[in-house]
Structure 1
Amino acid sequence: MIAATPATPPPLPLLRLRLTPRGVLPRRIDGVWWPHSRDLLAQLPQLLAALPTAWGDIVSVTVNGAAWSAGPGRMLVANQVVHLHKAAARHAPDTVVLLSPGHGRWDLLVVPPDTTEEAAATLMAAALGDRAPGTDGGV
């Protein structure tokens, strides 16, 4: 008899998230997220786990309903229920809105998963007011 060893799950891909610096005046967006896929159930837990503790517990997430895969109206993330809302495509198609009672609302620009690394870096830098890598003194 051959004993099968349990397969080790592959490591999670690196989270691609940049937040606006603290102390910056209110902005249209609070950060930029470049998910690896349009599977919200797979991508959301890693995003929420990486957010600053000052943002509190995110209890509601609103996304573009046409841009993300189908999913339930709520999910359990880190032992907390998170309500998922899918807005009409015309309503902020490129953002995800995070709500935390008593802490506030945060809007993240979403870079499409299939965007090239170069284009994503440029979009993220432009959205946050940085210089794009490799341009006039950029990193």
Structure 2
Amino acid sequence: MLTVQHQPVITADSPPSTPQLLLQSLAASDALLDGGWWPRSNDPVAELPGLVLALDEYRGPVHRVTLSANGWRSRPHLLGVAGRGLLPLRRGP
């Protein structure tokens, strides 16, 4: 018998903040992103929506995010981002 696990969707109560972000200019549209991001807290629900929306605007839709195992207060599986639907969050090293 196959069972389906329902993962809760986490959505921030406040609007996304403008991220502290520095990106290298891109010569080609298929180039990898090169840059730095400085989150203001260890709460991914507060920090990631602003980053995702900024990257959406800069480069096009973000389809998933990988979070490292360290440094975050929590690591939700799905994140609701204002105006663009759900974003899967993968667990990284």
* TM category, shorter: 0.5 to 0.7
Shift of 1:15: 2.3
Please show how residues 38-117 of structure 1 align to structure 2 within 5 Å: 38-53=42-57, 55-78=59-82, 79-88=84-93
Shift of 1:70: 1.2
- 1:46 partner SS: helix
How many correspondences in the alignment? Answer: 77
TM (norm. structure 2) is 0.66
Q: Which structure is larger by alpha-carbon Rg, 1 or 2? A: 1
The sequence identity of aligned pairs, in percent, is 31
Distance, in Å, in 2 between the alignment partners of 1:46 and 1:13 is 5
Flag structure 2 segments of 5+ consecutive residues without an equivalent: 1-13
Distance, in Å, in 2 between the alignment partners of 1:83 and 1:60 is 5
Shift of 1:11: 8.7
Distance, in Å, in 1 between the alignment partners of 2:78 and 2:47 is 14
> Structure 1 segments of 4 or more deviating over 6 A?
none
- 2:45 partner SS: helix
Distance, in Å, in 2 between the alignment partners of 1:86 and 1:15 is 21
Does the 8 Å contact 2:17/2:50 carry over to 1?
A: no
Aligned-pair Cα RMSD in Å: 2.7
The one-letter code sitting in structure 1 at the alignment partner of 2:34 is D
- 1:59 partner SS: coil
Flag structure 1 segments of 5+ consecutive residues without an equivalent: 1-9, 89-139
Aligned to 2:27: 23
